[in-house]
Structure 1
Amino acid sequence: MGRSFRRAMWAGVVAALAVAAVPVTAAFGAGNLTTSFTSTSDWGSGHEVRVTVTNGTDAPVSTWRVEFDLPSGTTVSSFWDADVTRSGNRYTAVKKSWAGAIAPGASFSWGYVGTGGYRAPSNCTVNGAACGGGGTPNPTTTPPTTTPTTNPPTTPPTTNPPPPGDQKVVGYFAQWGVYARNYHVRNIHTSGSASKLTHIMYAFGNTTGGRCTIGDSYADYEKAYTAAESVDGVADTWDQPLRGSFNQLRKLKQMYPHIKVIWSFGGWTWSGGFTQAAQNPAAFAESCHNLVEDPRWADVFDGIDIDWEYPNACGLTCDSSGPNAFKNVVSALRSRFGSSALVTAAITADGSNGGKIDAADYAGAINNLNWLMPMTYDYFGAFAAQGPTAPHSPLTSYSGIPQQGFWSDAAIQKLKSKGIPASKLLLGIGFYGRGWTGVTQATPGGTATGAAPGTYEAGIEDYKVLKNTCPATGTIAGTAYAKCGSNWWSYDTPATIGGKMSYAKGQGLGGSFFWELSGDTTNGELISAISNGLR
């Protein structure tokens, strides 16, 4: 996952969640606009519900409002893809600002996790009209003041369901995000992202001296969390054996048992040690196993991820360890960690002829890997200060693209042609944009004078910022771009991510991964688009 400032999961489900519940559906109708509630998972102490609003009219429905009662003892603990408020046992859900109109014959789904076993809602209304499943609220009653339910209770439920389907949704958690970004493991829960993730990549561990080493001990396992900062609302104590993000991840896994956590090593800044590691892969693997399986946090991690940028090629530094080095390192890791651990790798997405994919034997390593993550972003950016402007994460080629082979489909097709199974490839998504300044041309291909201003680094900005400061003005090659004043940005939106997920499904890919969690909105717009798009 390229830069230390920016980069850069259903492997199994615990037995308690392994028994799939038969979907139970309650349908309500208001004219030709209908709503159905489907229990997609029910594990006794909780359940997950998909709510589908279907437009049976002959005209688009630009806004909708669903109101319903839940039986006593059943509450909504988290939700996604709708804005939900609560008063007593009555809930109101309205369309998200980013969601478009529902076309005639089309539908839109949102969802929630409820406490207790599934019990059908009652007294449902759609856009104010009575639903067929119950009576309308008393019209003489003054509408109660609603209270937002976005924030979870102080003591959240101990079990939460995995996302539906068998495709992986893998998100990177940036170790340094706990500082200036003020993004902590708790945010994965409060944003609703945890229920959609299958795997979390913890980035990064270091590779100093050809060994796996701690990158930041304070962030990793020393930082003391207050009750307000902690995942479960319980403060760290001075004498507890494990604190920091590692302990927070442990708590998150207790709440969401389906999530697997993988420790990622390397990245743009810390890949230099892989050159020495390749000289003695067995010693490297032994050091990694000793660190990942340290008794203080062995239960936190389910495997190891190698983010070597780039074997037998140049990144921040150049490596000349040969085309077999990557394969040999992966083989040693699999041998040491065993067959039950997850061993994965983030790799180049350079699909050009004779490019970085051709520099290493990724196909030779695939049998020892659970999956590969080609980093299908950062193809273009203000590291070429004068432009031409181009989307940093194009899905396909387009007329005028600055470099051949620099698009996602080129990388996927090249890797598949080398014999790598599609099911072991995940499509990469960036939760950030890349931009230039001094640009006069609205469409791609314009000249620039340098990098556009960014919150943490010139030329880079989070999606959560760009969606408001520089909304998308066009799309090209399956991704979006925007021009605001003299600044020009490219980034993915929920809509373009939906298209990319359709591509991933059509190609038979194993799912998607993204860099990184803190770039998303506080209610997880982008991860929702990934999760919904892969269903």
Structure 2
Amino acid sequence: MSTRVVEGLPSRALPCFLASLFVLFFLARPTLANEPGHDGKSKVVGGYFEEWSIYFAGYNIANLQTNGVADKLTHLTYAFGNATPTGCAIADSWADYQSPYLPSVSGAPYTGPLYGNFAALQQLKQLHPNLKVMISLAGAAGFSAAASTAAGRQAMAANCIDLFVSGNLAPGISAAGVFDGIDIDWEFPTAADTVNATLLLQEFRKQLDALGKTNHKHYLLTMFGPAGQQNFSNIQLAEVARELDFFNVQGYDYHGTWETSTNHASPLLDDKQDPDSSENFYIEYTIHSYLQAGVPGEKLVLGIPTYARGWTGVPSTNHGLYQTSTGPAPFPAADYLQTPGVITYLTLTGLTGYTRHFDYGRIAAWLYDPSTQTFWSYDDPVTVLLKTGYVRTRVPGGLGGAFVWALKDDDANGTIVKTMAAGLN
């Protein structure tokens, strides 16, 4: 039957039944000796806010306050600052600290000289004093160049900390206190970067601790943890983990339209019927690998996508799963990602003509419309609830938590984030 996608759980009995079975399975499984747990402290409920959200998407920091998502978050990561061979740079000064036109978060006007998203974050933190806000730094070439020498590592850490953590943005403009730490989004270290990446993280940790000693504050340091073995094998996972508060582990983009066949973009478990099964493109393999490498469970925070990946020209066999395609699915004109083969969860909830299918073996959902031969792989409240059950039970005390990429792509009510928060608390 063709159904409209809805925001809530499709029924109460099915997800509760699945969640119960799932939790019992992970509670019953033996824990390996080299898969350490932690003390059961509160979980990270995180989300990435992209600086460009304020443009075509029209999504602002103020939206997080009005839709109640800010009440659920423990960590907000702002993307991005630019990593350069000599340190850091502002990626978009208008969005970051110059625009005087953003809606107020607290209701009070922005008085300057700090404006833009940074001023909005400042107001958000005043309303939520326990919220941790981090700046995510991106730029593989910049990281690689700076990390290649001791002097480069020292200069990068010092410059990035001064710019973002100390908040010295420009003459007369300070964002001191907006950011509680740094997220290293290095996509991806190569084999030649392996040792240097560890040394760079050690330098950031050293300098953040020195500043924290002066300010009587612990500054956070996190890193993007890639999903694929071809990428995480170039990181000294255990050594890097010792410097981090946690890894933001990529739990998405296992499959997408860089491939010509349909598959799940964010599957939790394996399926021997998957034509790509030998590639180990699923969450449990990634998490198991990090644990086996010696990363404590409490330092693994699982990523959950708030967007779908899709294909078209997909035959109806197996309701479109594991089938060939003619190309990326077209996106509705209103979808602000404007990217073939990708739409937001917000857009997906308004699609018509599709039937929802659920893969019980892999904990994954998809939509298929045989009339247009279009297939979308996505996460919904059912998969999110089950993934949070996994986070809580994968090791004694659970993994560190979960985060979404990205906050703007959730529906207007913040359903994915709120479901994630409910499952982790």
Q: TM-score range by the shorter chain?
A: 0.7 to 0.9
| 1:11 counterpart residue number | none
333, 336, 343: which is aligned to 2:207? Answer: 336
| 2:29 counterpart residue number | none
Map Cα deviations across residues 14-64 of structure 1 (whole Å, 9 max, x no partner). Answer: xxxxxxxxxxxxxxxxxxxxxxxxxxxxxxxxxxxxxxxxxxxxxxxxxxx
Matched, 1:518 2:403: no
Matches within 5 A, 1:42-53: none
Matched, 1:424 2:299: yes
Q: Distance in 2 between matches of 1:230 and 1:179?
A: 16
Matches within 5 A, 1:262-411: 262-266=134-138, 270-279=139-148, 280-292=152-164, 293-295=166-168, 296-312=174-190, 320-321=192-193, 323-338=194-209, 340-351=218-229, 355-384=230-259, 387-398=260-271, 399-403=273-277, 404-411=279-286
| 2:342 counterpart residue number | 460
Q: Distance in 2 between matches of 1:219 and 1:363?
A: 36
Report the CA distance between 1:439 and its aligned residue. Answer: 1.2
Q: Secondary structure at the match of 1:309?
A: coil
**Aligned partner of 2:421: which letter?**
S
- TM-score, length basis structure 1: 0.65
Q: Secondary structure at the match of 1:247?
A: helix
Matches within 5 A, 1:474-493: 474-476=357-359, 477-484=362-369, 485-493=372-380
Sort the Cα spacing of 1:402 and 1:102 in 2 relative to 1 into closer, same or farther, 3 A: closer
Map Cα deviations across residues 479-505 of structure 1 (whole Å, 9 max, x no partner). Answer: 111112221110000011001111111
Q: Distance in 1 between matches of 2:303 and 2:144?
A: 25
Sort the Cα spacing of 1:360 and 1:504 in 2 relative to 1 into closer, same or farther, 3 A: same
Q: CA RMSD in A?
A: 2.0
Which has a greater percent of strand?
1
Whether the aligned pair in 1 keeps the contact of 2:140 and 2:189 (CA below 8 Å) is: no
- TM-score, length basis structure 2: 0.82
Q: Secondary structure at the match of 1:419?
A: coil
Report the CA distance between 1:396 and its aligned residue. Answer: 0.9
| 1:98 counterpart residue number | 8
Q: Distance in 2 between matches of 1:245 and 1:357?
A: 32
**Aligned partner of 1:419: which letter?**
G
Sort the Cα spacing of 1:401 and 1:534 in 2 relative to 1 into closer, same or farther, 3 A: farther
Sort the Cα spacing of 1:472 and 1:277 in 2 relative to 1 into closer, same or farther, 3 A: farther
**Aligned partner of 1:200: which letter?**
L
74, 78, 102: which is aligned to 1:198? Answer: 74
Runs of 4+ in 1 over 6 A off after TM superposition: none
Q: Distance in 2 between matches of 1:392 and 1:98?
A: 21
Matches within 5 A, 1:85-164: 98-103=8-13
Whether the aligned pair in 2 keeps the contact of 1:311 and 1:325 (CA below 8 Å) is: no
Whether the aligned pair in 1 keeps the contact of 2:237 and 2:294 (CA below 8 Å) is: no
Map Cα deviations across residues 94-113 of structure 1 (whole Å, 9 max, x no partner). Answer: xx962454459x89xxxxxx
| 2:322 counterpart residue number | 445
| 1:181 counterpart residue number | 57
Sort the Cα spacing of 1:472 and 1:344 in 2 relative to 1 into closer, same or farther, 3 A: farther
Report the CA distance between 1:388 and its aligned residue. Answer: 1.3
Sort the Cα spacing of 1:361 and 1:421 in 2 relative to 1 into closer, same or farther, 3 A: same
Matched, 1:245 2:117: yes
Report the CA distance between 1:437 and its aligned residue. Answer: 1.2
Q: Distance in 2 between matches of 1:472 and 1:309?
A: 35
Sort the Cα spacing of 1:188 and 1:401 in 2 relative to 1 into closer, same or farther, 3 A: farther
Q: Which has the higher contact order (CA 8 A, sep 6+)?
A: 2
Matched, 1:533 2:420: no
Q: Distance in 2 between matches of 1:99 and 1:489?
A: 18
| 1:14 counterpart residue number | none
Q: Distance in 1 between matches of 2:12 and 2:47?
A: 29
**Aligned partner of 1:459: which letter?**
G
Q: Secondary structure at the match of 1:207?
A: strand
| 2:132 counterpart residue number | 260
Whether the aligned pair in 2 keeps the contact of 1:170 and 1:514 (CA below 8 Å) is: yes
Unaligned runs of 5+ in 2: 1-5, 18-39, 169-173, 213-217
| 1:233 counterpart residue number | 107
Matched, 1:217 2:99: no
388, 391, 396: which is aligned to 1:504? Answer: 391
Q: Distance in 2 between matches of 1:365 and 1:487?
A: 41
Larger radius of gyration: 1
Q: Distance in 1 between matches of 2:95 and 2:56?
A: 12
Q: Distance in 2 between matches of 1:298 and 1:408?
A: 37
| 1:4 counterpart residue number | none
Q: Distance in 1 between matches of 2:329 and 2:348?
A: 12
Unaligned runs of 5+ in 1: 1-95, 108-163, 314-319
**Aligned partner of 1:331: which letter?**
Q
Q: Distance in 2 between matches of 1:165 and 1:281?
A: 33
Further displaced range: 436-445 or 487-496: 436-445
Q: Distance in 1 between matches of 2:142 and 2:41?
A: 38
**Aligned partner of 1:479: which letter?**
A
Q: Distance in 1 between matches of 2:228 and 2:161?
A: 30
Whether the aligned pair in 2 keeps the contact of 1:390 and 1:401 (CA below 8 Å) is: no
